[in-house]
A and B are shown apart, each in its own frame.
Chain A
Amino acid sequence: MGNDTSYTDQKFEQVGRRVKRPDGVDKVTGRAKYGADAYAPGQLVGLILRSPHAHARIKKIDTSKAEKLAGVKAVVTYDDLPDLTGGNRGMMDILENCMARGRALYDGHAVAAVAAVDKTIAKRALKLIKVTYEKLPHVTDVDEAMEADAPVVQDFVFTSGVEPKPTKPSNVSGISQFGHGDVDAGFAEADVIVEKSYKTEQTHQGYIEPHACLANMSSDGSGELWVTTQGHFVFRNVCSTLLGIDIAKLKVTASEIGGGFGGKTHVWMEPVALVLSRKANRPVKLVMTRDEVFKASGPTCSTSIDVKIGAKKDGTITAASANLRYQNGAFPANWGMIGAMTAYACYDLKNVKTVGYDVLVNRPKVAAYRAPSAPMAAFGVESTMDLMAGKLGMDPVEFRIKNAAKEGTRASYGPVYGPIGIGPTLEAVKKHPHMRAKLKKNQGRGMACGFWFNFGGQTCTDLNIGVDGTVSLTVGTIDVGGSRASLSLIAAEELGIDYEQVKASVADTASLGHNDMTEGSRGTFSSGMATIFAARNAVEVMKGRAAKMWDIPVEDVVWENGGAKATGKAHSNLPPLTLKEIAAKSPQTGGPIAGHNETVADNAGVSFASHICDVEVDPETGSTRVIRYTVVQDAGKAIHPDYVEGQFQGGAAQGIGWALNEEYIYGKDGTLQNPGFLDYRIPVCSDLPFIDTEILEIPNPNHPYGVRGVGETSIVPPLAAIGNAVSNAVGVRLNHIPMSPPRILKALDEQAGG
Chain B
Amino acid sequence: MSSVLVSTTINGDPVEFACPPEETLLDSLRDRVGLTGVKEGCGTGDCGSCSVTLDGRLMCSCLVLSAEVEGKQVGTVEGMVQNGQLHPLQESFIDNAALQCGICTPGFLVAANALLARNANPTETEIRYALAGNLCRCTGYDKIVRAVQVASKEMRKKSKKTKKK
Contact = CB atoms under 8 A, between A and B. Distances in A.
Contacts of B103: 34, 207-209, 256, 258-259
15 contacts: A28-B102, A120-B1, A120-B22, A208-B39, A208-B47, A208-B135, A208-B137, A256-B102, A259-B137, A480-B100, A481-B138, A642-B97, A676-B44, A684-B132, A685-B134
Interface string B111-148: 00000000000000101110111111111111111100
Interface of A: 18, 20-21, 23-25, 27-34, 36-37, 119-120, 205-210, 256-261, 287, 289-290, 480-482, 642-643, 645-646, 649-650, 652-654, 676-678, 682-688, 690-691
A654 B136 CA distance: 10
Nearest 9 Cβ contacts at the A-B interface: A30-B37, A258-B103, A653-B140, A27-B102, A642-B97, A677-B46, A649-B140, A24-B94, A481-B100
Contact of A37 (B36, B46, B127, B135): B36
A256 B139 contact: no
A295 B110 CA distance: 30
Given A28-B99, A120-B1, A690-B142, A677 B47 contact: yes
Contacts of A690: 142, 145-146
Interface of B: 1, 20, 22, 27, 30, 35-44, 46-47, 49, 76-78, 80-81, 86, 90, 93-97, 99-106, 109, 125, 127-129, 131-146
Contacts of A30: 35-38, 76-78, 106
Contacts of A482: 97, 100
B104 A642 contact: no
B138 A290 contact: no
Contact of A653 (B47, B109, B141): B141
A634 B20 CA distance: 54
A256 B39 CA distance: 13
Contacts of B43: 289-290
Contacts of B145: 685, 690
A29 B146 CA distance: 19
Contact of A27 (B22, B78, B99, B129): B99
Nearest to B97: A642
A686 B42 contact: no
A685 B128 contact: yes
B37 A688 contact: no
A678 B139 contact: no
A655 B78 CA distance: 33
Contacts, number: 183
B37 A682 contact: no
B94 A290 contact: no
Contacts of B135: 206, 208, 677, 682, 684
Nearest to B126: A686
Nearest to A481: B100
A451 B77 CA distance: 40
Given A120-B22, A257-B101, 8 more contacts: A23-B102, A30-B78, A36-B30, A259-B137, A643-B100, A646-B138, A653-B137, A686-B132
Contacts of A31: 37
B40 A207 contact: no
A630 to B, nearest CB: 12
A683 B138 CA distance: 11
Contacts of A209: 39, 41, 101, 103
A654 B137 contact: yes
Main secondary structure of the interface of A (DSSP, over half): loop
A258 B93 CA distance: 16
Contact of A120 (B20, B40, B137, B144): B20
Contacts of A691: 140, 142
A678 B46 contact: yes
Contacts of A683: 140-141
B90 A206 contact: no
A33 B39 CA distance: 10
B102 A676 contact: no
A18, A259, A682, A683 — most chain B CB neighbours (10 Å): A259
A691 B43 CA distance: 30
A677 B96 CA distance: 27
Given A649-B142, A676-B44, A677-B46, A32 B102 contact: yes
A230 B3 CA distance: 39
A28 B97 contact: no
A261 B136 CA distance: 13
Contacts of A119: 27
Contacts of A205: 137
A416 to B, nearest CB: 34
Nearest to A485: B97
Given A18-B97, A207-B101, A653-B140, A677 B109 contact: no
B38 to A, nearest CB: 7
A684 B46 CA distance: 11
Contact of B137 (A33, A206, A287): A206
Task: Identify which of B46, B104, B132 gathers the most chain A CB atoms within 10 Å of its CB.
Answer: B46
A457 to B, nearest CB: 21
A434 to B, nearest CB: 15
B128 A686 contact: yes
Contacts of A29: 37, 77-78, 80-81, 86, 90
A676 B43 CA distance: 10
A653 B94 CA distance: 21
A36 B94 CA distance: 23
Contacts of A20: 94-95
Given A20-B94, A482-B97, A258 B102 contact: yes
B27 to A, nearest CB: 7
A208 B97 contact: no
Contact of A28 (B94, B100, B101, B125): B94
B36 A33 contact: yes
Contacts of A208: 39, 41, 47, 49, 101, 103-104, 135-137
Contacts of B125: 686
Contacts of A481: 100-101, 138
Contact of A688 (B35, B97, B140): B140
B39 A685 contact: no
Given A25-B94, A210-B41, A646-B143, A682 B137 contact: yes
B99 A24 contact: yes
A366 B49 CA distance: 26
A482 B93 CA distance: 13
Given A36-B40, A481-B101, A259 B94 contact: no
B61 to A, nearest CB: 13
A119 B1 CA distance: 12
A28 B125 CA distance: 24
Contacts of A646: 97, 100, 138-139, 143
